[in-house]
């Protein structure tokens, strides 16, 4: 089992290094072929990638924070991340059937 942290944001990397979890691999982008069953993946990934992780038998933990509009697109430091409520949430995702948009 390995712990992966997937982020290109230095503030997020700095934040996770202050936590008790030991990260085995820091990557700026997910290479799904490196993930094994039982691995833990932490990041702020799109839903389809989170689903792939879970479907492999690994665990996905979403780095969650509420970023105000005037801070979006900017690099955040640890203190800003704390201010915006940074936390980890375990996420279980299942992708079901593809649908025609006219069905919705």
List, for residues 71-83, the tens digit of each pLDDT value.
Answer: 888 888 899 889 9
- Would 68 be classed as within a structural domain? yes
The CB density around residue 36, as the number of other CB atoms within 10 Å, is 12
Residue 68 has pLDDT above 90, yes or no: no
- Would 23 be classed as within a structural domain? yes
Number of domains in the chain: 1
More confident residue, 68 or 90: 90
Which tokens is 60 given?
């996905």
- Would 104 be classed as within a structural domain? no
Q: What is the dihedral of CA 37, 14, 66, 39, to 10 degrees?
A: 0
State mean pLDDT over 28-48: 96
Residues in the chain: 104
Residues of the domain holding 64? 3-95
Q: What SS3 class is residue 43?
A: strand
- Would 87 be classed as within a structural domain? yes
pTM for the whole structure? 0.87
For 38, left (φ over 0), alpha (ψ -120 to 50), or beta? left
State mean pLDDT over 87-92: 94
pLDDT grade for 97, boundaries at 50, 70 and 90 = confident
- Would 100 be classed as within a structural domain? no
- Would 45 be classed as within a structural domain? yes
Residue 59: what pLDDT?
A: 97
Residue 102: what pLDDT?
A: 85
How much of the chain, in percent, has pLDDT values that exceed 90? 69
Residues contacting residue 63 through CB under 8 Å, at least 6 positions apart: 7, 12, 16, 42, 43, 44, 86, 88
- Would 102 be classed as within a structural domain? no
- Would 103 be classed as within a structural domain? no
For 73, left (φ over 0), alpha (ψ -120 to 50), or beta? left
């Amino acid at each position: 089992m390995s712990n992966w942290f997937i982020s290109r944001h230095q503030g997020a990397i700095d934040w996770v290094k202050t936590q008790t979890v030991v990260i085995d691999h820091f990557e700026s982008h997910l290479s799904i072929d490196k993930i094994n069953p039982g691995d833990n993946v932490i990041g702020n990934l799109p839903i389809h990638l989170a689903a792939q992780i879970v479907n492999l038998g690994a665990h996905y933990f979403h780095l969650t924070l509420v970023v105000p509009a005037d801070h979006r697109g900017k690099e955040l430091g640890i203190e800003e991340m704390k201010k915006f409520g940074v936390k980890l949430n375990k996420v279980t995702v299942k992708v079901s059937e593809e649908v025609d948009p006219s069905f919705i």
